[in-house]
Chains A and B, each alone.
Chain A
Amino acid sequence: MLSNIGIGLVILILALSFLIISIAYYDSKTSKQVIKKSIYKLSLLQTTFTILSFFTLIIGFINSDFSLINVYENSHTTKPLFYKIAGTWGNHEGSLLLWVNILVIFSYLFLVFNHTHNKKFRLYTLIFQNILIIGFLFFLLLNSNPFNLIYPIPLEGLGLNPILQDPALAVHPPLLYIGFVGCSIYFSAAMASLISGYGGKLFAQSIKTWVKISWCFQTLGIIVGSIWAYYELGWGGFWFWDPVENASLLPWFAITALMHSLIVLEKRNTLYAWVIILCLLTFILSVTGTFLVRSGILNSVHTFASDPSRGIYILSFLSLMIFSSLIVFFMKYKKETYNFNLKSRETFILVNNWFMIFFLVTILIGMLYPIFLDVLTNVKISVGPPFFNIIIIPLVVPLLFLMAIGPNFSWINSRNKIFYKALFIVLGSVAINVFILYFFGRYSLMSNLIFVSAIFLILYSLLDIKKFFNKKLKFGLSRIISHLSFGFLIFFIGINHQFSIEEDFNLKVGDIKKISSYEINFEEITMKEKKNYKVAIGSFKLTNLKNDMVQYLNPEIRIYSNPETLTYEAAIKTKITSDLYLTMSNISRSDFYNIKFQNKPFMIWIWISALMIAVGGFIQLNLKKNED
């Protein structure tokens, strides 16, 4: 029954999309200034049906309705309710339905909230967005239908992967999808802008809020994913340059570049072509990322189960998107004149874009190169963290410097005194860096540069905050917070990387190992039985030899029965100053266990700084229209 309701709703949404496109097209030809009321109503109806279809699937999961293949493959009667619900979007088909929801909801909201803007522009945005919706609906109906039936109806489900039963992971996909899919609306808006000729400052204002929304959620989604990986995946890292992580980072750089360029478009009415390119590029990158991750073309530790037929479909959709945007862009492109003085804020924003695109392209090349090499020469290579770190990290240093001084340049032109102030703060940063060096130990040239530049950004931003509260600076609090937090993020990552203690060794029960100023005593292993798993809990006594403090760390090896999986739960003690991290894994046919022990300074500050970057963005969203 649910299946029929679900599929029925989806077909209705599809029909409505076609209807909306045709009515909107005819309405765009009329001379009336106002959009036909029926379009609003149809759009609202479409939104309602879409949300209802999603609820239908959720109900299927809550009731453990195994007549739906999707529920059968991804749920289990003993799963806690919260995770049953989260299971709805934790799989390919369900997440696709969530994508459709976001496409439709944003389509409606953009229509409603932009009523001060040009009618033709709004109608065309609606048309293009609905073309995207139709594309996704066909994909859903023909290839990845969450409402497909299975007969005979199984009595029990195959269960969600136990690693995925985590609050952070339940919330991470929806956050990320609002980012990924939210950028569809300004893709459509860009196409509409080209066709209707509605550009410049007003266009910037129409999409501004949407760019910010997608940026905030994308940032938050990526951070929550990292936090989850750190606490759950058991390798003590939070970023691995894994294809799925990279796929989420590609649109992020584009959205950040776009967000900055929009400021220029709005303020100085220039860079229109570039903004359009970024709008089109962002959603194209989202779909490309989806293609790379869900088609099975790349090998990753956290891909969905892959299926080549999906790949063909997404690739076709991607090709249509790219070619249509290229054609429309080239048809409507008009040459612009640019007026950029060197010492002006708009130039610095261009420089920001330069860096963002550089990072974006580096990650894209790193992801795609192995595919190209394999297809063209049959040679298989791996491109991993060392590649990305070596190319990206050195460029973070100048980026930090520029992030600090850039926003302080005036529009159009500025005086040189900014450089004197900057020089003064550089000296302060170097002093602080020397202080750290002196008390805590030497490190490489690269790390010195990272510290100095991060401290520079921090100090400069703090001075800006002081100016803001002294009323000397009227706007920019959210920018200051985000930039300041970014400085702190790099600073804490630097400290963490420099001063972490990490060791990998094998121990038997009863062994004692000394690592730096710690003594680890592998006291015992206890076996326990829990509701849906058996567990071996290790008991490790950790003595800090400097102050004789004793702590116990209890890593686990869990054996789940549905599906049969083995997971390793790290023992993590998070404190203000550092995290202690211990994982234990068994070695087959041996009494020894492989132990990884880490002391990671300031780990929690990395999360706090990262979250504050997103907070800065959210503050922006809540400000009144005239504040920047």
Chain B
Amino acid sequence: MKISFFLLVVYALITTKTYSSESQNRLLEVYKNLRCLVCQGQSIADSNSDFAATIKLVVEDQFKEGKTEDEIYKFLMNKYGEWIVYQPTFNKNNFLLWVLPYAVLIFGGFIIFLVVRKTKRNKVN
């Protein structure tokens, strides 16, 4: 049964990598991932501001040119900083952000594993 704990954690890590939004509307997904710079906590998709309207035009153009989502995000981050994208990139600044939750998951599982194993040991004795 230790295997099942281990598998669970591995599952969590793997599915994270393969989880992607398979929505038909890639354009809208990009809008949702971009942050409106002049609004209080709204995405480009939800904002009615002038800035959001302009960004939508630029993103649409780049899509038509065949750029990928990553290229578009990189372009905008280059102009406006990492703040404009809602999904934090995995770099030396942010790797703790992505790693810590799983560290907690593994730690928690480890504790349960210890508790159950101790009980098993006591039973055997």
Contacts and interface: CB of A to CB of B under 8 A. Distances in A.
Contacts, number: 147
Contacts of B45: 235, 504, 596
A588 B50 contact: yes
Contacts of B18: 445-446
Contacts of A444: 19-20, 22
B75 interface: no
B41 A394 contact: no
B86 A387 contact: yes
Given A445-B18, A503-B28, A386 B116 contact: no
Given A354-B109, A587-B53, A568 B48 contact: yes
Contact of A504 (B31, B42, B82, B112): B31
Consensus secondary structure, chain B interface: helix
Interface residues of A, number: 61
Contact of B32 (A299, A357, A385, A586): A385
Contacts of B96: 369
Interface in B68-125: 81-88, 93-94, 96-98, 100-101, 104-105, 108-109, 112, 115-116, 118-120, 122-123
B87 A384 contact: yes
Interface stretch (A120-128, A138-146, A375-383): A375-383
A341 interface: yes
Contacts of B93: 373, 377, 379, 381
B41 A358 contact: no
B61 interface: no
Contacts of A234: 46
Given A380-B83, A587-B53, A365 B97 contact: yes
Given A377-B93, A502-B28, A594 B48 contact: yes
Contacts of B40: 299-301, 303
A77 interface: no
Given A445-B18, A446-B18, A504 B56 contact: yes
Given A587-B53, A588-B50, A385 B20 contact: no
A338 B120 CA distance: 11
Given A361-B101, A594-B53, A387 B87 contact: yes
B58 interface: no
A586 B52 CA distance: 12
Given A342-B116, A446-B19, A504-B45, A398 B11 contact: yes
Contacts of A594: 48, 53
A483 B43 CA distance: 33
A398 B18 CA distance: 16
Contact of A390 (B1, B16, B25): B16
Nearest to B22: A444
Q: Which of A299, A341, A394 has the most CB of B within 10 A?
A: A394
Interface in B44-71: 45-46, 48, 50, 53, 56
Interface in B17-44: 18-20, 22-25, 27-28, 31-33, 35, 39-43
B48 A585 contact: yes
Q: Which of B11, B35, B46, B109 has the most CB of A within 10 A?
A: B46
Contact of B25 (A395, A443, A503): A503
A385 B41 contact: no
A527 B41 CA distance: 30
Interface string A408-420: 0000000000000
B48 A382 contact: no
Nearest to B85: A382
A365 B86 contact: no
B76 to A, nearest CB: 12
Nearest to B56: A504
A243 B123 CA distance: 47
A384 B48 contact: no
Given A382-B83, A384-B33, A504-B28, A365 B116 contact: no
Nearest to B86: A384
B108 A358 contact: yes
A455 B42 CA distance: 34
Contacts of B41: 242-243, 299-301
Contacts of A387: 86-88, 97
Interface in A335-349: 338-342, 347
A394 B119 contact: no
Interface in A316-367: 338-342, 347, 350-351, 354, 357-358, 361-362, 365-366
Interface of B: 1, 8, 11-12, 15-16, 18-20, 22-25, 27-28, 31-33, 35, 39-43, 45-46, 48, 50, 53, 56, 81-88, 93-94, 96-98, 100-101, 104-105, 108-109, 112, 115-116, 118-120, 122-123
Given A382-B88, A503-B28, 10 more contacts: A235-B45, A339-B122, A357-B108, A358-B101, A369-B96, A380-B81, A386-B87, A449-B15, A568-B48, A594-B48
10 contacts: A235-B45, A365-B101, A377-B93, A385-B86, A387-B88, A387-B97, A444-B19, A446-B15, A504-B56, A587-B53
Interface pairs A-B: 7 shortest CB-CB: A384-B86, A386-B87, A394-B15, A235-B46, A585-B48, A301-B41, A362-B101
